[in-house]
């Protein structure tokens, strides 16, 4: 610690603090422009100049100067004020004054500083730039005439996002911020630069001329897309979400968002939202009253009884999921499941069997401090982008060694020093087993108090580094080095994402990851963690609440099989578009066709809803009150920002109404009461009350979840996929599930399905971007547009699963990879 | 998306073998960007865009960053340059001894002003500050050859000589 005096105040701060940070801690506010909490000190704007007794003769930039013992700092004097005013005058020489029509007006740092310093005239004159506004892309507008060259956008894109869109170009007066070759912005469109820009140089286009900042009502809630659980502050005007506001004060994401969170909100406002219940009459879905629709549903469920199947999505709140489970009980069925039923088994069967817990063991911020990180599947960045940014920072700022078990060269692979254990598609299991075997062979494994060691050793007989190398294509020596580094790191993390497009070997991967974690001593160790991250906003909640087959009940796939064979009398689908997002569309089609009574509850008339007998209009995340539990077990409050469209109701209200119809008992008692009820059957949720959930949420089980056991479970290898071309499916960064295909933001960037080729294959097949190709596999032929880049190794193809028309799931039946043929 | 753009650009007709060979020497070396760019310019006469993408990929540096470096230093050129670089000295000594007329002659004969290149990629003109040969002002350089004590007539002769060369 260091002692210093600021404005006569005695202060003791950490030796790593800057003068600016020390002052802030002492409640003394120094004005800044280029400083941002989450970025490294830069010192570009010179607004934060202060006087330091020991450094007389010049003013000192407080944001880049570290504190030192005995320092005496003055933050305001006539001289400082004069210089700050001059700095502002300089900035205003070039900065165009368009405040009345600038969307930043009212929350512009330059405007506020100019006002605060009463800079009413300017002693200097110079040319204004007349640079063309970059509005090539639909999401982010860049007006560089307003830029003050603080470099926050350049730095955030590098330091946090790891994309590197921007750089300072040219020199002297000509200096400006531009993309490579000074072209229109063409990036991931996460909009971190938008949130960092202190002036109106970088703005969200969808928000242009929609509202003045002070007119907006801000509602803090949790993003409805992925399991990252980012806080989003809805900017609401006239009952409509107009933008997502920057908020780095609360939540787990430090103000960072991805394209989905920042620009993917518009589906909520969509004209296509369902606003009234629909009941099928004479083959047509026609509008009906709630009374009628609910009665038809209740009657149908009564008739079906134990032969009713309930399938849920993982974007319902915990309270709604709880009601859904109760509904199953009341309706007398044990057939309950969510998210396709297979993808989450790494947690419910893998982790639960190995560690006695069905959740990630750590929290995201701890990953930033890890020395070694093993990310399984390069797609991690694409499924949970903001957690990906945490990994970026761990690697870039704290020099964590990143190891990837991946079938692609994704963005993670480009991080400094990242080592990619690039394997043949679907062979993750073998690589993980290989790593475990190295740990055991070289005596690096932590085996104290670990069960099942002998069985695991026996099961790993075939997984020597060289054998694994032959099967997977990963270099044996690299595998050994990876295992040694993981074992040596005091703080390490293993990350694995799961979701609908990643169903193959889900259980086995969970086990293999847990085995590895146990062997390197991760579970229960401070700062280390095993992270199994669900695809959807409340995937973890669905597991915590047990939205899985009840005793004797059928799982999702078994329900579909039963339905297809005419053995299921009714199916109730809540918040999921099975036809598009489940593997094996053929099977889903048959099931939906054969099931005598289909009820779909959704916010859009999805493909699945279009086949229903009754459609119930539900609510989006932005209209709900309740809680989500994110992939690190953080229970966070979801708050309604806008009213429901038309007659739509929240899922909770609808489910409760059905319970009431079936049982005659009152079910909907409000989210707080239901949350308390959850605690009665899920002990982890009893440790906090609904209103006790603070701005940072509440992590059930604590920052480090201690496993109740450490049991190694033997797990076999994968079956290699044959054939010249192997197709992978998965999540694309710009989308999440199927809902994002109704959102203008993500759609503006990636509007349709594609099949991605590596450069080598593209060259051999003479393909270029946009060419139509025929991809045939599993007896199904698809025509898709080609996309060529450098992510994929030879023979590997990738197609995202979000798009209905493409029908990827006609071909993908839940395999790790599908052997396909390709022709033009 | 940007990767897709990179591909189409990278497919322009540029033989990347030379750049790849240069990069082979430097991959993994810290601070390699400047020498790599200089060597690429030496090889191609300028920095072709596909080479920027290749360098970004192989050195794991952002394209934008490379572009920042390229536009910061006057020594780098992003457009093809002439076979003969005519540097017209506009330093003080040359200026008082008629450097402007020398520059004008070049402009009249070849139709190129400062930083411009003839359509046949034979000549590039550059007006430079002192090249350190004030004793022979006014002076020009054509690639590495220096021509001093120029008059309009002598300048025309120099141009004639290079025009007739390949």
Domains of chain B (ranges plus CATH)?
Answer: 2-72 (no CATH), 84-164 (3.40.30.10)
The answer to whether A2-76 and A725-823 have equal CATH topology is no
What is the reported pLDDT for A378? 67
Which numeric CATH code is attached to A127-269? Answer: 3.30.70.20
Provide the 10 A C-beta neighbour count for residue A551: 5
Among the listed residues A315, A237, A753, A229, the one whose alpha carbon sits nearest the alpha carbon of residue A574: A315
- Is the CB of A759 less than 8 angstroms away from the CB of B8? no
What is the reported pLDDT for A749? 87
Calpha distance A400→A378 (Å, rounded): 17
- Is the CB of B72 less than 8 angstroms away from the CB of A180? no
- Residue B65 contacts A, CB cutoff 8 Å: yes
User: Which A residues 137-166 touch B at CB under 8 Å?
Assistant: 158, 163-166
- Residue A187 contacts B, CB cutoff 8 Å: yes
- Is the CB of B67 less than 8 angstroms away from the CB of A182? yes
Q: Which residues face A493 on adjacent strands? A: A373, A529
Which numeric CATH code is attached to A278-341+541-699? Answer: 3.40.50.740
pLDDT < 70 positions in chain A: 378-379
CB A182 within 8 A of CB A153: no
From the CA of A171, how many Å to the nearest CA of chain B? Answer: 5
As a dihedral over the C-alpha atoms of residue A92, residue A95, residue A96, residue A101, rounded to 10 degrees, the angle is -100
Kindly list the domain boundaries of chain A, sorted by start residue.
2-76, 127-269, 278-341+541-699, 345-533, 725-823
Residues of B in contact with A179 (CB under 8 A): 64, 67
**What class is the A345-533 domain?**
alpha beta
What is the reported pLDDT for A740? 86
The pLDDT tens digits for B23-43 are 999 998 989 999 999 999 999
Residues of A in contact with B57 (CB under 8 A): 790
- Is the CB of A788 less than 8 angstroms away from the CB of B60? no
Calpha distance A722→A221 (Å, rounded): 46
Residues of A in contact with B3 (CB under 8 A): 789-791
Fold designation for A2-76 = Ubiquitin-like (UB roll) (3.10.20)
Helix, coil or strand: residue A496: strand
The CA–CA distances, whole Å, from A718 to A353, A498, A811, B53 equal 20, 17, 20, 37
- Residue A169 contacts B, CB cutoff 8 Å: yes
Residues of A in contact with B65 (CB under 8 A): 164, 167
From the CA of A164, how many Å to the nearest CA of chain B? Answer: 6
Residues of A in contact with B52 (CB under 8 A): 180-181
The pLDDT tens digits for A89-139 are 999 999 999 999 999 999 999 999 999 999 999 999 988 889 999 998 999
CB B110 within 8 A of CB B120: no
CB A4 within 8 A of CB A13: yes
User: Which A residues 777-796 touch B at CB under 8 Å?
Assistant: 787-791
Give the pLDDT band of residue B1 (cuts 50, 70, 90): very low
CB A711 within 8 A of CB A354: yes
DSSP letters along A380-412, please?
HHHHSHHHHHHHHHHHHTT-PEEEEEESS--GG
- Is the CB of A182 less than 8 angstroms away from the CB of B5? no
The pLDDT tens digits for A694-721 are 999 999 999 999 999 999 999 999 999 9
Q: Identify the residue among A167, A178, A789, A792 best suited for mutation to test binding to B, counting B beta carbons within 10 A and taking the highest.
A: A167
- Is the CB of B3 less than 8 angstroms away from the CB of A416? no
- Residue B119 contacts A, CB cutoff 8 Å: no
- Is the CB of B67 less than 8 angstroms away from the CB of A759? no
**Counting one residue from A and one from B, how many pairs have CB atoms under 8 Å apart?**
70
Calpha distance A560→A547 (Å, rounded): 17
pLDDT at B5 over 60: no
Give the pLDDT band of residue B3 (cuts 50, 70, 90): very low
- Among the partner-chain residues B63, B66, B68, the one whose CB lies closest to the CB of A168 is B68
The CA–CA distances, whole Å, from A243 to A218, A240, A266 equal 10, 9, 9
Asked if the peptide bond before residue B15 counts as cis, ω within 30 degrees of 0, the response is no
- Is the CB of A791 less than 8 angstroms away from the CB of B3? yes
Residues of B in contact with A164 (CB under 8 A): 62-65
From the CA of B120, how many Å to the nearest CA of chain A? Answer: 24
- Is the CB of B60 less than 8 angstroms away from the CB of A789? no
- Residue A416 contacts B, CB cutoff 8 Å: yes
Residues of A in contact with B11 (CB under 8 A): 768
ipTM field: 0.91
Phi, psi of A807 (to 5 degrees): 65, 40
Residues of A in contact with B37 (CB under 8 A): none
- Residue B104 contacts A, CB cutoff 8 Å: no
- Among the partner-chain residues B11, B60, B65, the one whose CB lies closest to the CB of A167 is B65
**What class is the A725-823 domain?**
mainly beta
pLDDT at B8 over 70: no
The pLDDT tens digits for A616-653 are 999 999 999 999 999 999 999 999 999 999 999 999 99
Residue in B closest to A158 by C-alpha = B62
- Is the CB of B8 less than 8 angstroms away from the CB of A168? no
Helix, coil or strand: residue A533: strand
- Is the CB of A169 less than 8 angstroms away from the CB of B7? no
pTM: 0.92
Buried/exposed A450-475: b ≥16 CB within 10 Å, e otherwise: bebeeebbebbeebbbebbbebbbbe
For A573, residues 6+ apart whose C-beta sits below 8 A from its C-beta are A311, A312, A598, A599, A600, A601, A602, A608, A612
CB A227 within 8 A of CB A384: yes
- Residue B28 contacts A, CB cutoff 8 Å: no
Residues of B in contact with A163 (CB under 8 A): 62
Residue in B closest to A762 by C-alpha = B7
For A282, residues 6+ apart whose C-beta sits below 8 A from its C-beta are none
User: Which B residues 42-61 touch A at CB under 8 Å?
Assistant: 49, 52, 56-57, 60
Calpha distance A656→A351 (Å, rounded): 32
């Amino acid at each position: 610690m260091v002692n210093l005096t600021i404005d006569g105040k005695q202060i003791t701060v950490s030796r790593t603090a800057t003068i600016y940070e020390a002052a802030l801690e002492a409640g003394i506010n120094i004005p800044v422009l280029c400083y941002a909490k989450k970025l490294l000190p830069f010192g570009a704007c010179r607004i934060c100049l202060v006087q330091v007794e020991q450094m007389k003769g010049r003013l000192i930039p407080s944001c880049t100067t570290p504190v030192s013992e005995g320092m005496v700092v003055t933050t305001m004097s006539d001289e400082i004020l004069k210089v700050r005013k001059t700095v502002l005058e300089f900035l205003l020489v070039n900065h165009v004054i368009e405040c009345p029509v600038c969307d930043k007006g009212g929350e512009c740092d330059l405007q506020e500083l100019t006002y605060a310093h009463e800079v009413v005239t300017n002693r200097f004159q110079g040319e204004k730039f007349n640079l063309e506004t970059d509005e090539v892309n639909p999401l982010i507008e860049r007006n560089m005439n307003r830029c003050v060259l603080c470099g926050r956008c350049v730095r955030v894109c590098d330091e946090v996002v790891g994309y590197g869109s921007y750089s300072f170009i040219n020199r002297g007066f000509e200096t400006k911020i531009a993309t490579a070759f000074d072209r229109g912005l063409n990036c991931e469109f996460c909009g971190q630069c938008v949130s960092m820009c202190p002036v109106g140089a970088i703005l969200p286009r969808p928000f242009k001329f929609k509202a003045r900042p002070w007119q907006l009502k801000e509602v803090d809630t949790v993003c409805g897309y992925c399991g990252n659980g980012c806080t989003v502050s809805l900017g609401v005007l006239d009952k409509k979400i107009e933008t997502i506001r920057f908020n780095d004060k609360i939540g787990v994401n430090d103000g960072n968002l991805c394209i989905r969170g920042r620009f993917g909100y518009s589906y909520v406002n969509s004209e296509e939202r369902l606003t009234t219940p629909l009941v099928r009459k004479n083959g047509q879905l026609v509008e009906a009253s709630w009374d009628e629709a609910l009665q038809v549903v209740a009657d149908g469920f009564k008739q079906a009884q134990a032969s009713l199947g309930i399938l849920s999505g993982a974007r319902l709140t915990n309270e709604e999921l709880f009601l859904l489970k109760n509904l199953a009980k009341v309706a007398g069925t044990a057939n309950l499941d969510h998210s396709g039923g297979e993808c989450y088994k790494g947690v419910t069967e893998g982790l639960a069997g190995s560690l006695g817990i069905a959740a990630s063991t750590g929290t995201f911020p701890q990953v930033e401090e890890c020395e070694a990180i093993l990310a399984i599947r390069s797609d991690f960045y694409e499924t949970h982008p903001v957690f990906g940014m945490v990994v970026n920072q761990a690697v870039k700022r704290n020099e964590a060694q990143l190891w990837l078990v991946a079938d692609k060269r994704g963005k993670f692979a480009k991080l400094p020093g990242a080592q990619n254990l690039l394997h043949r598609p679907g062979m993750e299991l073998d690589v993980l087993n290989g790593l475990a075997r190295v740990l055991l062979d070289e005596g690096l494994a932590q085996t104290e108090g670990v069960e099942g060691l002998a069985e695991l050793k026996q099961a790993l007989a075939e997984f020597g580094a060289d054998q694994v190398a032959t099967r997977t294509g990963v270099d044996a020596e690299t595998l050994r080095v990876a295992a040694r580094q993981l074992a040596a790191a005091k703080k390490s993390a293993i990350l694995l994402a799961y979701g609908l497009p990643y169903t193959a070997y889900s259980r086995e991967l969970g086990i293999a990851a847990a085995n590895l974690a146990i062997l390197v001593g991760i579970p229960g160790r401070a700062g280390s963690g095993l992270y199994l991250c669900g695809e959807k906003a409340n995937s973890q909640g669905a597991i915590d609440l047990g939205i899985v087959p009840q005793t004797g009940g059928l799982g999702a796939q078994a329900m579909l099989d039963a339905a297809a064979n005419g053995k299921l009398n009714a199916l109730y689908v809540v918040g999921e578009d099975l036809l598009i997002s489940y593997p094996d569309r053929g099977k889903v089609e048959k099931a939906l066709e054969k099931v005598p009574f289909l009820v779909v509850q959704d916010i859009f008339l999805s493909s699945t809803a279009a086949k229903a007998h009754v459609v119930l209009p539900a609510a989006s995340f932005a209209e709900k009150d309740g809680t989500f539990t994110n992939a690190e077990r953080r229970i966070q409050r979801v708050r309604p920002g806008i009213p429901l469209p038309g007659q739509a109701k929240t899922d909770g209200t609808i489910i409760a109404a059905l319970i009431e119809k079936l049982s005659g008992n009152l079910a909907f008692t409000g989210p707080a009461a239901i949350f308390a009820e959850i605690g009665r059957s899920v002990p982890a949720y009893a440790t906090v009350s609904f209103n006790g959930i603070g701005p940072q949420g509440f992590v059930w089980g604590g920052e480090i979840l201690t496993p109740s056991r450490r049991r190694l479970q033997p797990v076999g290898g994968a079956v290699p996929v044959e054939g010249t071309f192997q197709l992978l499916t998965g999540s694309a960064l710009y989308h999440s599930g199927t809902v994002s295909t109704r959102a203008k933001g993500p759609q503006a960037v990636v509007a349709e399905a594609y099949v991605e080729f590596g450069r080598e294959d593209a060259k051999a097949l003479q393909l270029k971007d946009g060419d139509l190709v025929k991809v045939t596999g599993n007896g199904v032929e698809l025509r898709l547009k080609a996309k060529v880049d450098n992510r994929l190794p030879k023979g590997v193809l990738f197609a995202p699963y979000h798009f209905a028309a493409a029908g990827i799931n006609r071909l993908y039946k839940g395999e790790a990879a599908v052997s396909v043929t390709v022709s033009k | 998306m940007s990767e897709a753009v990179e591909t189409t650009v990278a497919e322009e007709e540029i033989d990347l073998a030379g750049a790849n060979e240069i990069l082979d020497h430097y991959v993994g070396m810290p601070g390699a960007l400047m020498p790599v760019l200089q060597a690429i310019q030496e090889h191609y006469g300028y920095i072709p865009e596909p080479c920027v993408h290749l360098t970004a990929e192989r050195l794991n540096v952002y394209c934008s960053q490379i572009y920042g470096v390229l536009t910061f230093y006057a020594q780098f050129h992003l457009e093809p340059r002439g076979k003969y670089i005519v540097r017209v000295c506009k330093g003080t000594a040359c200026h008082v001894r008629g450097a402007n007329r020398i520059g004008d002659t070049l402009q009249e004969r070849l139709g190129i002003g400062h930083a411009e290149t003839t359509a046949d990629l034979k000549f590039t003109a550059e007006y430079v500050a002192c090249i350190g040969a004030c004793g022979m002002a006014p002076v020009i350089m054509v690639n590495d050859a220096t021509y001093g004590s120029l008059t309009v007539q002598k300048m025309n002769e120099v141009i004639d000589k290079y025009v007739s060369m390949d």
